[in-house]
Amino acid sequence: MATPISTVMSPARYVQGKDAITRVGEFVAPIGTRPLIVADDVVWGIVEAAVTESFWSADLPVERVGFGRFATPEAVDELVEHIAAKDADVIVGLGGGSAIDAAKAAGHLAGIRWASVPTAASTDAPTSALAVIYTAEGEFIEYRFFPHNPDLVLIDTRLVANAPVQFLVAGIGDALATWVEARAAKRANADTMAGGLQTETGVALAELSWKLLHENALQAIEAVKAKVVTPALEKVVEANTLLSGLGFESGGLAAAHAIHNGLTAAPQAHGLAHGQKVNIGTIAQLVLEGAPAEEIEDFVVFTTKVGLPNTLTEIGLTVDDRDVLRAVAEAATVEGETIHNMPFPVTPELVVDALVAIEGIARSIRAEHGLPEPVLYEHH
């Protein structure tokens, strides 16, 4: 067995700010001279002018390939072919988490460097050294791990402010899980996604993400609704993108993300964002680990105000969907899943019970606080 070590991984550079996209060329140039941009048509329509001007002033050519909906094995392989055809030496994932993850995976396979330029703060994918690979229907297949993080993560907070508010809300869901999972991994002295034991740094960053979100998320949501950039929004963007990424990778994942991965197998929940499903994983983990009632109450109240789902109803399920819940729980507890980083053994039965329990718990807390009843999610 290898000598136990503690380790932290991070991107080589993180850049955040209003209009940061206008300086993307300046930060990509030191990484490579023949960049290949991966962006879908919608994203490219929004940023083409700014990126082109910035690349040209940095003497970089502008080569862009389109992208579909999910980081599938086929989409990744196609990007590897584009890299070879263009002789690119750096791949720039531009847009949402899927384009960014696909760019990372392709860059790794092709043996070139990679950069993440998210246009929304909807997941922590841009920061990490791993990609989540899905089927064309959005079902979880696998994590792919890389030996290093992106050479650059650049996020423009004006773009975040102009993106749909549900993107920011989903990112808050993804980031709220980070501390809850890192804390559980700490109790278990589990290995992290970075391939070693936790450091104090990884755990502290996860906790900082939690703190910043509690203090700033509601204000940041209002800022995005008004399409303005405020200090609260800057803090939430950093929590969602950088701190959550560093915190999950070097702090450890546990039940919340494993339950998310299980939920991708439920057709009823298709179409929901990563962070929305993760939030169900987080509330289920709190119930599973027997968290104090006050903590669960705070979590339900806060995430309801934020607009995240915390009941089965809001992900298209009911307590009577036992077969679906059983399949979710089986998928969440397969060998190698991060649920086994919990400080106690977790069986599918325990996961089903936790998922069933959240419905009544969240409904009663919401009623007690005068918060709206959950609305059934219907996937079309």
Give the interface with Zn ion as residue ranges (CB under 5 A): 174
Q: For Zn ion, which is the closer residue by CB, 151 or 174?
A: 174
The pair of structure tokens assigned to 374 is 């959950």
Please give the Cα distance from 271 to 285 (Å, whole number).
22
**Nearest residue (CB) to Zn ion, 186 versus 274:** 274
Query: Smallest distance from the beta carbon of 246 to Zn ion, in angstroms?
Result: 13
72: helix, strand or coil = coil
Minimum CB distance to Zn ion, residue 156 (Å): 21
Q: Which is nearer to Zn ion, 102 or 110 (CB)?
A: 102
Angle at Cα 149 formed by Cα 146 and Cα 152, nearest 5°?
Answer: 145
Query: Which residue of this chain has its Cβ atom nearest to Zn ion in the complex?
Result: 174
> What is the nearest approach in angstroms of Zn ion to the Cβ of residue 299?
17
Cβ pair 219, 232 in contact under 8 A:
yes
Q: Is 128 exposed, middle or buried (0-12, 13-18, 19+ CB in 10 A)?
A: buried
**Is 257 a residue of the active site?**
yes
Q: Do 108 and 52 contact (CB within 8 A), yes or no?
A: no
| Choice among 274, 320, 353, 379 that is catalytic | 274
- We find the least distance from the C-beta atom of residue 244 to Zn ion, in angstroms, to be 7
Between residues 128 and 268, which has the closer beta carbon with respect to Zn ion?
Answer: 128
Q: Rounded to a whole number, what is the largest CA-CA distance in the chain?
A: 61
Whichever of 174 and 234 has its CB closer to Zn ion, that residue is 174
CA distances from 111 to 83, 106, 125, 146, 331 (A): 10, 8, 20, 11, 32
151, 156, 174, 191: the active-site residue: 174
Q: Is 82 a catalytic residue?
A: no
What is 32-54 written as a DSSP string?
A: -SSEEEE--HHHHHHHHHHHHHH
Minimal distance in Å, beta carbon 173 to Zn ion? 9
Candidate list 260, 321, 369, 379, residue with the active-site label: 260
Catalytic residues: 174, 257, 260, 274
